[in-house]
Amino acid sequence: MVVDEDKAEGEGKVWSLCRMPFWQTCSSKGNGSSSASSSSSSMGNNNIYQQSQSSQLDERSTLTSSMAKSLLPTRRRLRLDPSNKLYFPYEPGKQVRSAIGIKNTSKSPVAFKFQTTAPKSCYMRPPGSILAPSESLIATVFKFVEPPENNEKPIDQNSRVKFKIMSLKVKAETDYVPELFDEQKDQVAVEQILRVVFLDPERTCPALEKLKRQLAEAEAEAALESSKKPPEDIGPCIVEEGLVIDEWKERRERYLARQQVEGVDSAYK
């Protein structure tokens, strides 16, 4: 009897296991696989999200740094005196002069170049050059002052003409040519844009007195530079005291005299 009862209980357990619906076992297995796949997909999404976040952070940092650089003032290579103006005496119908001091404040040679909005009526001397570290010079600017039209005041012309000074770092022993600024456009910096200010030459003021001093210094510098140049062969030779023979001048005079005689002869034929 005991054996029969145990057998009955065992058959009941097997039957109870057999009575479990097939879809429940499949669903339990399916839930496990789907949960695994969902977890893997969520991990993939997290990785993509993290990558996108990092790329966005990099873009923001790059943008912030570029904005910060744009907001920072450009480091000057030259010191100008005056710093942002060119003073000219107002003399209508005449060519007048201004002066500006330029000094290289960097640790390397710097080339500078002038540009103007009125190249037909303005020119600079020198128009450009190369300055060694701590070297300076005084540039002279020439401008033709046009007479006023329609009762126009001199102050109304101040903003019409502007000058721009550009700089470029160069290597030692570089010869200055204007093409340097075209060949290295990315390295060119605009030092300053200068506006024209007219002064009354009849009224004494600090700006006019300073301009006169700078022009005198510029003339002295030009004279010193010309004295350093070797003397040029001008052609005439001194044969004896008080006698100078210029062969080209004599040839020209003989040629003109011959042309004049031939012209007179042909007129009477």
Protein fold of 78-225: Immunoglobulin-like (2.60.40)
Q: Is the pLDDT of residue 13 over 80?
A: no
Task: Report if pTM > 0.75.
Answer: no
**3-state SS assignment for residue 12:** helix
Task: Tell the burial category of 9 from Cβ atoms under 10 Å away from its Cβ (0-12, 13-18, 19+).
Answer: exposed
Domain ranges of the chain: 78-225
Asked whether 166 and 115 are in contact (CB, 8 A), the reply is yes
Tens digit of pLDDT for each residue in 53-110?
666 666 666 655 555 444 444 578 999 999 999 999 999 889 999 999 999 999 999 9
Tens digit of pLDDT for each residue in 207-221?
999 999 999 999 998
DSSP 27-62: HHHHHHHHHHHHHHHHHHHHHHHHHHHHHHHHHHHH
Of 114, 116, 211, 115, which Cα lies nearest the Cα of 161?
116
- For the chain, what is the total number of helices (H) and then of strands (E)? 5, 11
Instruction: Give backbone dihedrals phi and psi of 101, rounded to 5 degrees, phi first.
Output: -85, 135
Assign 224 a pLDDT band (cuts: 50, 70, 90). Answer: confident
Assign 49 a pLDDT band (cuts: 50, 70, 90). Answer: low
Q: Where are the beta strands (DSSP E) in 90-161?
A: 95-104, 110-116, 122-125, 128-131, 136-144
Tens digit of pLDDT for each residue in 108-166?
999 999 999 988 889 899 999 999 999 999 999 999 988 877 666 555 555 678 999 99
